Amino acid sequence: MNRQQVSPAAGAGEARKRIEQGDPRKAVRPAGSTTVYAPDGDTVAVQPGETVLSLAGPGRRTVAKAIDFAVFLIIEVVLMYLLGAVADLEGGAYFLPLILVSVAWWSAYGAVQLHLWGCTLGKRAAGLRVYRVWEGTTLPTWRQAWLREGPASLIYVIPGLNVLAGLARIVKLHKNRPYHHSQVDFAPGTVVVHHLG
């Protein structure tokens, strides 16, 4: 599908309109799209040739994130040990390098998997996939995958802030019923759905 790029000169109103057209919560389907989104567990009427995707609810999304976080922590502990052993730094001087490695690792963990397979290990285990909004089962581009995972990784590796951010995200997923779309979905133009296969 051809997406219209909106320049900053076009104004905030035009940019907002473009974002809302890609927002399943608003149920405004762009012309030419054959994708229909059904809220978790709902049925929808479709025309011949349309693809129906069931949007993922907050329960499965939370389970997927918990699995991904467990994988992240296991590898992070190994990285922390190796960085501390290799750097041989005393007094926690490896904390900043650890944060930088953590951000890079968390971003790459999600972005690479989303672009190549449409899911992380956690999403695969929970039966979820990430696709481009309004484009059926098209996997995210590299840009969309990094935009989806990069900013979140900055927050998730900062102790204390990660707990608050996680809780805020869960609240937002529950609040945005019936579509359970979060800011992580809006910015890159992606959507999390139940896997059909």
Concatenate the DSSP letters of all residues of 101-142 into one string.
HHHHHHHHHHHHHHHHHSS-HHHHHHTEEEEETTSTTPPPPH
Distance between CA atoms of residues 39 and 160, nearest Å: 32
Cis peptide before 178 (omega within 30 of 0): yes
Q: What local confidence, expressed as pLDDT, does residue 38 receive?
A: 79
Amino acid found at 184: V
Domain edges within the chain: 54-194
Q: Which of 63-77, 81-95, 112-126, 148-162 has the highest mean pLDDT?
A: 112-126
Asked if pLDDT for residue 53 goes beyond 80, the answer is yes
pTM exceeds cut of 0.85? no
Question: Alpha-carbon dihedral of residues 101, 99, 188, 72, nearest 10 degrees?
Answer: 70
Confidence grade of residue 1 (pLDDT, cut at 50, 70, 90): very low
Distance between CA atoms of residues 67 and 123, nearest Å: 8
Q: For the chain, give the mean pLDDT.
A: 75
Distance between CA atoms of residues 178 and 186, nearest Å: 15
Q: What percent of the chain has pLDDT over 70?
A: 68
Concatenate the DSSP letters of all residues of 18-59 into one string.
HHHHT-GGGT-PPTT--EEEE-TT------TTPEEEEBPPHH
Amino acid found at 150: G
Task: Find, among 197, 174, 169, the residue nearest to 184 by Cα.
Answer: 169
Distance between CA atoms of residues 193 and 17, nearest Å: 23
- Do residues 49 and 31 make contact, with C-beta atoms less than 8 angstroms apart? no
Distance between CA atoms of residues 133 and 159, nearest Å: 32
Average pLDDT for residues 42-46, to the nearest whole number? Answer: 72
Q: What local confidence, expressed as pLDDT, does residue 140 receive?
A: 94
